[in-house]
Amino acid sequence: MAKQGYHHGNLRQALIEAALKLIEEQGPQGFTLSDAAKSAGVTPAAVYRHFAGRDDLIAECARQGFAIFGDLMEHAYNDGKPTALRAFEATGRAYLAFARKFPGHYMAMFESGISMNADPTLARAAERAGAILLRAAEELTRQLPPGRRPPAAMFAAHISAMSHGVVELYTRGTPGARSPFPPEDLLETGIGIYLRGLGLVPPDS
């Protein structure tokens, strides 16, 4: 796909992919503009033809990550079909699937310390992904009697927190206790118990 010779052909995307790989391997802070250039077979200066600098390259990784993330979430939600509950559960699984399949993107998005406010397009991409989960939560809480219906934003925040926590603590080798359970099971059961607590799932299932 990349042309040989003096002109690269699609250096911009090649740099992004190189950056993602490096971020995945060494973390978003260990990532180096010079290394990314080298990986793409190019001089560090060439990067500046396509990006404003190091931060811009990371931001673009995050931006693409949020786009993919949003797509996956949307696809998993599938407009609430077949049922609000099933769609919601699929969304939760999509969260973890994304983190596992696109670790570089995930790290660029959540661990690079990038400032959302600095880049409106980045903020918008992040918002979109969040909105899907929020909508899934809203649909689902409709099934509850108004009296015991939690705010959808809080519901969504709980699920985000649990999902993110599972990714950070049990998906990588890094921190202390690697649990004896696969992260997928951990998240599935965790969300299941939580939904039961809300009365959205029968007590015995």
Partner DNA sequence: TGTACATCAGTGAACGCGCGTTCACTGATGTAC
Kindly tell me which residue out of 9, 41, 53, 199 binds a second copy, with binding defined by CB under 8 A. 199
Which of these segments, 33-41, 81-89, 91-99, 104-112, binds DNA (CB under 7 A)? Answer: 33-41
Question: Within 10 A of 35 (CB to CB), how many other CB atoms are there?
Answer: 17
Q: Does 200 bind DNA (CB under 7 A)?
A: no
Q: Examine residue 29 and tell whether it contacts DNA (CB under 7 A).
A: no
Rg (CA), the chain: 20
Binding mask 111-150 for DNA (x = CB under 7 A): ----------------------------------------
Q: Which stretch binds a second copy (CB under 8 A): 8-16, 38-46, 77-85, 150-158?
A: 150-158
Taking CB under 7 A as the criterion, the residue among 17, 24, 35, 188 binding DNA is 35
Minimum distance, C-beta of residue 41 to DNA, in the bound complex (Å):
7
| Shortest separation between residue 7's beta carbon and DNA, angstroms | 5
The span of 4-12, 34-42, 90-98, 151-159 binding a second copy (CB under 8 A) equals 151-159
Q: How many CB atoms lie within 10 A of CB 120?
A: 9
Distances from the Cα of 39 to the Cαs of 21, 54, 157, in angstroms? 9, 15, 38
193 binds a second copy (CB under 8 A): yes
Q: Is 17 in the site for DNA (CB under 7 A)?
A: no
Q: Which of 17, 24, 42, 184 binds DNA (CB under 7 A)?
A: 42
Among 68, 84, 87, 166, binds a second copy (CB under 8 A): 166
